[in-house]
Structure 1
Amino acid sequence: MNKQDKKHPHSTRNEPDNSAPPEQLPADALISTNDDLIRVMDGFRGKPFLAIDTEFMRERTYYPQLCLIQVGDGEKAVAIDPLAKNIDLEPLWNLMRDESIIKVFHAGNQDMEIFLHEMGSLPSPVYDTQIAGLVCGHGDQIGYDSLVKSILGKDVDKTSRFTDWSKRPLTDRQISYALDDVIFLAQIYPIMLEKIAAENRMSWLDEEFAKFCDPATYITKPEDAWKRIKIRHLKPRALLRLMRLAAWRETESQNRNVPRNRVVRDETLIDLAGTAPKTTAEFSKIRNFPGGTDGKFTKPVLKILQDVEAVSDSALPSTPSRGKPVKAPQAVMELLRVLLKYSTDHFNIAPRLIASGDDLELLAIDDNAPIRALQGWRREVFGDTALKLKSGKIGLAVKNGKIKVIDLS
Structure 2
Amino acid sequence: MSTTPIEFINTPDQLRQAAATMAECQVLCVDTEFHRESTFYPEFALLQIYGNGQCWVIDPITIKDLAPVWDIMLNPAILKVFHAARQDIEIIFNEAGGLPLPLFDTQVAAALLGYGQQVGFGNLVQRITKKLLPKGESFTDWKARPLTKKQMAYAADDVIWLMPVFQHLKERLEAAKRTQWLQEEQQTLCSPETYQPNDADAFWRVKGFNRLKGRHLAVLQEMAAWRERSAQQRDIPRRRMIADEPLLELARRDLLDIETMQRIRGINAGFIKRFGDEIIACWQRGMERTEESWPSMEARRSNTHGTDLRLEMLDTLVRLKAEEGEISGTILASKSDLSALASWGYRCKGEPPEVACLHGWRYELVGHDLIRLLRGEICLHLNSQTGMPEISPYEQAQ
TMscore range, shorter length: 0.7 to 0.9
- Mapping 1:150-299, distance limit 5 Å: 150-229=127-206, 230-234=208-212, 236-275=214-253, 278-291=256-269, 295-299=273-277
Is the aligned partner of 1:120 residue 2:104?
A: no
Q: Does the Cα contact within 8 Å between 1:46 and 1:100 map onto a contact in 2?
A: no
Structure 2: any 5+ residue segments left out of the alignment?
none
Aligned to 2:357: 373
Query: What is the rounded CA distance, in whole Å, between the counterparts of 1:177 and 1:374 in structure 2?
Result: 42
Q: Check conservation: 2:38, 2:236, Cα contact below 8 A.
A: yes
Letter of the 1:383 counterpart? G
Amino acid at match of 2:362: R
Instruction: Read off the aligned partner of 1:116 and give its amino acid letter.
Output: F
Amino acid aligned to 2:397: L
Corresponding letter in the other structure for 1:126: L
Q: Would you say 1:133 and 2:110 are equivalent positions?
A: yes
Partner of 1:13 in structure 2? none
Q: Partner of 2:150: helix, strand, or coil?
A: helix
- Identical aligned pairs, as a percentage? 33
Match of 1:355 among 317, 323, 333: 333
Q: Which residue of structure 2 aligns with residue 11 of structure 1?
A: none
Query: Number of matched residues?
Result: 385
Comparing both chains, which one has the higher relative contact order based on Cα–Cα distances under 8 Å and sequence gaps of 6 or more? 1
Question: Does structure 1 conserve the Cα–Cα contact (< 8 Å) formed by 2:25 and 2:52?
Answer: no
Moved more, 95-104 or 285-294: 285-294
- Partners of 1:210 and 1:302 in 2: CA distance: 39
How big is the shift at 1:203?
A: 1.2
SS in 2 for 1:60: coil
Residue by residue over 1:206-262, the C-alpha shift from the partner in whole angstroms, topping out at 9 and shown as x without a partner, is 321101111222333222211211223435443332222111111110011100010
Larger mean CA deviation between 37-46 and 230-239 belongs to 230-239
State whether structure 2 residue 34 is matched by structure 1 residue 45.
Answer: no
Query: Aligned with 2:146: secondary structure?
Result: coil
Are the counterparts in 2 of residues 33 and 87 from structure 1 also a CA contact under 8 Å? no
User: What letter is aligned with 1:63?
Assistant: Y
SS of the residue corresponding to residue 295 of structure 1 reads helix
Structure 1 counterpart of 2:74: 97
Q: Which residue number in structure 1 is paired with residue 322 of structure 2? A: 344
SS at match of 2:187: helix
C-alpha deviation, 1:334, in angstroms: 1.5
- Runs of 5+ unmatched residues, structure 1: 1-21
Q: Deviations over 1:385-404 (max 9, x none)?
A: 43454426443326557544
Aligned residue in 2 for 1:305: 283
CA distance in 2, matches of 1:154, 1:321: 46
TM-score by length of 2: 0.87
Distance 2:319 2:47 in 1: 39
Matches of 1:359 and 1:209, distance apart in 2: 19
Instruction: Tell me whether 158-167 or 317-326 shows the greater mean CA deviation.
Output: 317-326
Distance of 1:322 and 1:135 partners within structure 2: 31
Please tell me whether the aligned partners of residues 8 and 57 of structure 2 are also in contact (alpha carbons under 8 angstroms): yes
After superposition, give the CA deviation of every residue in 1:289-316 in whole Å (9 maximum; x if it has no partner). Answer: 132575311232233334556x365675
Shift of the 24–138 alpha-carbon distance from structure 1 to 2, 3 Å rule, reads: closer
Task: Using the TM superposition, name which of 135-144 and 261-270 deviates more.
Answer: 135-144
Counterpart CA distance in 2 for 1:321 and 1:179 is 46
What CA deviation, in whole Å up to 9, does each residue of 1:263-304 have, x standing for no partner?
A: 011111122222366543443112211325753112322333
Alignment partners' CA distance in 2, 1:112 and 1:346: 33
1:91-124 per-residue CA deviation (whole Å, 9 max, x = no partner) reads: 1111110000011001111111221222222211
| Aligned residue type for 2:148 | T
Q: 2:17 aligns to what SS in structure 1?
A: helix
Give the RMSD, CA atoms, in angstroms: 2.7
Alpha-carbon separation, structure 2, partners of 1:171 and 1:330: 56
How far apart in 2 are the matches of 1:321 and 1:380?
26
What amino acid sits opposite 2:58 in the alignment?
A: I
The amino acid across from 1:173 in the alignment is K
Alpha-carbon distance in structure 2 between the residues aligned to 1:89 and 1:107: 23
- TM-score of the superposition, structure 1-length normalised? 0.85
Quote the Cα distance in structure 2 between the aligned partners of 1:82 and 1:290. 37
- 1:67 deviates by 0.8
Q: Distance in 2 between matches of 1:278 and 1:338?
A: 49
The equivalent residue for 1:397 is: 382
Q: Is the 8 A contact 1:277 1:283 kept in 2?
A: no
1:74 positional shift: 4.4
Q: Does 1:87 align with 2:87?
A: no
**Structure 1 pair 221–189 and aligned structure 2 pair: CA distance change class (3 A):** same
Structure 1 residues 242 and 397, CA, compared in 2 at 3 Å: closer, same or farther? Answer: same
Is the CA contact (8 Å cut-off) linking 1:276 and 1:305 kept in structure 2? no
Q: Distance in 2 between matches of 1:292 and 1:87?
A: 36
Q: What secondary structure does 2:209 align onto?
A: coil
AA in 1 matched with 2:253: T
Counterpart for residue 397 of structure 2: 408
Deviates more, 1:360-369 or 1:138-147: 360-369
Residue 293 and residue 252 in structure 1: after superposition, are their counterparts in 2 closer, same or farther (change >3 A)? closer
